[in-house]
Amino acid sequence: MEYFADIPQIEYEGPQSKNSLAFKHYNPEEILEGQSMRDLFRFSICYWHTFRGTGSDPFGGATLQRPWDDGSNSVENALKRVDVAFEFFEKLQAPYYCFHDKDVSPDGDTLKEANDNFDRIADKLQEAQERTGIKLLWGTANMFSHPRFMHGAATSPNADVFAYAAAQVKKAMEVTHRLGGENYVFWGGREGYMNLFNTDMKRELDHLAQFMHLAVEHAQKIGFKGQFLFEPKPKEPTKHQYDFDAAACLNFLRANDLLDHVKLNIETNHATLAGHTMMHELVYSSIQGALGSIDANTGDLLLGWDTDQFPTDIYLATQCMLAILDQGGLAPGGVNFDAKVRRESFEPIDLFYAHIGGMDAFARGAKIAAQIRKDGVLSDFVAKRYTSYDEGIGKQIEAGSLSFADLEAYMLEKGDSAPNSSGRQEWIENVINDYL
């Protein structure tokens, strides 16, 4: 059975093509900075938006036409969705996918029932992976939709909820391991607070740290070697999410001795909700050796919530790729489209246009970033901006060989600092535009 019978295999046709169902820039075989685009991006499709999204929003119900889906929460419907999903991944030449446990598999009235459902679906996912060669970038557990998680999961004041969450993550890690998942993601869900008057923040953060140590211990026990990833987000659904941004996550990990076990999955729309640019979050985590993977999407400046739109902005993609190329790629992470089509884009073909657009935007961004890097325009300018640290007093400062008293003596002798050079922001922005 073919579910997208009208859609051909999506191939690379080059920038001159006028075919909307073809790649104009993403050529999996093309080499950029020594690696193929396939290996550089490791594109992944998310199950939740693409196969479970309905188009509903706080003001209206489902709009999306998904003729294969009977709308029920049955195991049969979930099994059929696996076929649909893998046909979609194959047609798009996407090498990876990722899921929450509850996206792929129906919940149960008891934990046992939910686990049994998950095992049945995992059998089918495994079969589909073996048949197609498509791999699992990461798995995760949905611990925010069910009412039991109203106060959070690991940070819930209800210890039974902590226990349920532990059992759920244990199972999701085991299934991820069985399916060869290369990473395991912890997005904060409802780990945060709505009001500090009723919240013991210290106790909640301690519980979260304890939970993470249990996860590390279980990974070792089952031999799961995948990378753990925190996914920073400042708000939504809670007023203040504990994993606010890269800096807050890294502080939590460092304070709780988890830095060796967890890196970050940086998402564009989360970065902007935190008042940062995506490039800021990427560079900030990368310089600390903690940039593991990205959730590629974009927000809407005027709407201001987590709209999870497909990334089509070449400027944004160029900024992302400058940071990613700078650390040589993302493996074992990848570029996952945590993005959904608008509720007005209700036909299945819109799913293809959306992903093709995102993949092409990243491919173009990468080509531009690689050229900028090859010409050395940014690196040369930035290196020149700091030359005062390459010799003399600056070199001694960086070497750590001078005290405040030494620096005072130096400046008393000199009288005043050397003149500054221009930051040339407008010039450097013009130079980047020349590459677009």
Task: Catalog residues that contact Co ion under the rule CB under 5 A.
Answer: 267, 295, 338
Catalytic, 100? Answer: yes
CB of 15 to ligand XUL, least distance (A): 31
| Radius of gyration, CA atoms only, the chain | 24
| CA 15/CA 360 separation, integer angstroms | 10
CB of 38 to Co ion, least distance (A): 22
Task: State the first-to-last Cα distance of the chain, in angstroms, to the nearest integer.
Answer: 43
Comparing every residue's Cβ against ligand XUL, the nearest one is 187
Is the bond preceding residue 15 a cis peptide, omega within 30 degrees? no
Nearer to Co ion, 119 or 236 (CB): 236
Q: What is the dihedral of CA 389, 394, 396, 397, to 10 degrees?
A: -100
Catalytic, 103? Answer: yes
- Judged by the rule CB under 6 A, the positions of this chain that interact with ligand XUL are 48, 100, 140, 185, 187, 231, 233, 267, 295, 306, 338
CB of 48 to ligand XUL, least distance (A): 6
CB of 45 to ligand XUL, least distance (A): 13
Is the bond preceding residue 237 a cis peptide, omega within 30 degrees? yes
Nearer to ligand XUL, 87 or 231 (CB): 231
| CA 97/CA 138 separation, integer angstroms | 7
- φ, ψ for residue 325 (rounded to 5)? -65, -35
For residues 205-225, one letter each, b for 16 or more C-beta atoms within 10 angstroms of the residue's C-beta and e for the rest, the string is bebbbebbeebbebbeeeebe
Ordered DSSP codes for 151-183: T-STT-S-HHHHHHHHHHHHHHHHHHHHTT-SE
Query: Could you give the angle at the alpha carbon of 89 between the alpha carbons of 86 and 92, nearest 5°?
Result: 145
- Tell me the C-alpha to C-alpha distance, in Å, between residue 197 and each of 193, 200, 201: 10, 8, 10
Residue corresponding to tokens 């696996």: 82
Catalytic, out of 49, 100, 177, 280? 100
CB of 172 to Co ion, least distance (A): 16
H and E: helices and strands count for the chain:
16, 12
Nearer to ligand XUL, 117 or 140 (CB): 140
| CA 333/CA 229 separation, integer angstroms | 9
Query: Could you give the angle at the alpha carbon of 177 between the alpha carbons of 173 and 183, nearest 5°?
Result: 75
| 249 contacts 288 by C-beta, under 8 angstroms | no
Nearer to ligand XUL, 114 or 185 (CB): 185
Catalytic, out of 103, 245, 295, 306? 103
Structure tokens at 229: 């990833």
CB of 267 to ligand XUL, least distance (A): 5
SS3 category, 260: coil
CB of 354 to ligand XUL, least distance (A): 16
| 345 contacts 312 by C-beta, under 8 angstroms | no
CB of 338 to Co ion, least distance (A): 4
Query: 3-state DSSP helix/strand/coil percent for the chain, to nearest 5?
Result: 50, 10, 40
Residues with catalytic function: 100, 103
